[in-house]
């Protein structure tokens, strides 16, 4: 299962209705407003992202800390790529499976890939909003339910994927934990470019304090918008500088017959809740913050896999 699932994108996990990679984008006649016309599921009642209103969330004490296997081990065989919609990083066949458990979920989930959503300026960029406010960037760590042996099976189950979402906040200083990624962006400047990545950990990309987090049931945030995602959004952000954000904004996308242009504003607007309940975890227990011998993170270093998101 490890070799079959490592390195795949969400496009691979779900059956796409369109044959052309450019059948959808984030603007014009094939942008988010028109996705429900092209992909029926994008008009469903359990769509993502959403605007999280902190005054209306329900406390759920059963949303406990996550346990992580191999999140503190360096990826040695990863690939970073510009797929025309986002920058995505996927583990390679030599990388041991990264697994998340607990976190108020019934099953274990295996890491598939991470990707980013960002804006043309720092006033926008994230897909999820918190109290109506956008962050300049959002990262999705996408995981597949280990109970489902095939991608096709997972794409049909409402608990097929778990995505951990990490929000970013502006900092005056560069974030050194992001430098392994920033350093590779020149190598994937153009759509279709790929490069090898190594010597970084998933743990290094997570907030120092992973509690509390928000939880709700939703969908992929890109076509075909399958409603198969258990979303976790960490309340605490991680820092990024304007200089580092600009490196993402320098990445290019291409439309057939047109000159390459900057890949920016690759986010979907918030979707209606349709009666869904958004939950929040407790604050956690600082007395248990150390990693255990198996490499699992304790409550303060706990991570609620954020991500997909792509392409969520």
Catalytic residues: 85
* CA distance to 52, 101, 266, per residue, from 121 (Å): 22, 36, 12
* CA distance to 84, 121, 129, 156, 217, per residue, from 124 (Å): 19, 6, 10, 32, 24
The terminus-to-terminus CA distance of the chain in angstroms comes to: 22
* CA distance to 121, 124, 129, 140, 244, per residue, from 136 (Å): 7, 5, 11, 14, 11
Closest CA to 295 of 97, 78, 61, 37: 97
* Residues written for the chain: 312
DSSP 133: B
The beta strand positions in 198-290, using DSSP E, are 213-218, 229-234, 238-241, 252-253, 261-262, 279-280
Angle at 173 between CA 171 and CA 176, to 5 degrees: 110
Cis peptide, bond prior to residue 49, ω within 30 of zero = yes
CA 112 to centroid of chain Cα atoms: 10
Question: Cβ distance 38 to 17 under 8 Å?
Answer: yes
């Amino acid at each position: 299962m490890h070799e079959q699932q490592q390195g795949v994108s969400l496009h691979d996990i779900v059956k796409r209705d369109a044959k052309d990679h450019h059948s959808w984008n984030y603007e014009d006649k094939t942008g988010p407003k028109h996705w429900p016309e092209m992909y029926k599921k994008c008009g469903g009642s359990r769509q993502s992202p959403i605007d999280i209103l902190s005054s209306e969330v329900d406390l759920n004490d059963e949303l406990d800390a996550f346990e992580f296997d191999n999140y503190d081990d360096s990826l040695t065989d990863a690939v970073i790529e510009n797929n025309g919609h986002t920058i995505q990083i996927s583990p390679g066949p030599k990388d041991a499976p990264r697994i998340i458990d607990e976190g108020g979920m019934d099953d274990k989930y295996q890491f598939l890939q991470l990707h980013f959503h960002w804006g043309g300026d720092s006033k926008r960029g994230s897909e999820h909003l918190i109290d109506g406010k956008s962050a300049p960037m959002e990262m999705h760590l996408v995981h597949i339910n280990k109970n489902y042996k095939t991608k096709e099976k997972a794409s049909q189950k409402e608990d097929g994927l778990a995505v951990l979402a990490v929000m970013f906040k502006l900092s005056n200083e560069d974030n050194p934990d992001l430098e392994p990624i920033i350093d590779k962006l020149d190598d994937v400047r153009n759509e279709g470019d790929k490069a090898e990545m190594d010597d970084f950990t998933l743990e290094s990309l997570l907030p120092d304090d992973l509690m509390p987090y928000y939880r709700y049931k939703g969908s992929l945030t890109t076509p075909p918008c399958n409603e198969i995602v258990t979303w976790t959004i960490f309340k605490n952000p991680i820092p990024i500088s304007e200089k580092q954000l600009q490196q993402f904004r320098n990445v290019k996308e291409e439309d057939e017959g047109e000159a390459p242009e900057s890949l920016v504003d690759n986010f979907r607007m918030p979707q209606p809740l349709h009666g869904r309940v958004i939950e929040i975890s407790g604050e956690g227990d600082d007395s248990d913050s150390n990693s255990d011998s198996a490499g699992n993170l304790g409550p303060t270093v706990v991570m609620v896999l954020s991500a997909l998101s792509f392409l969520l």
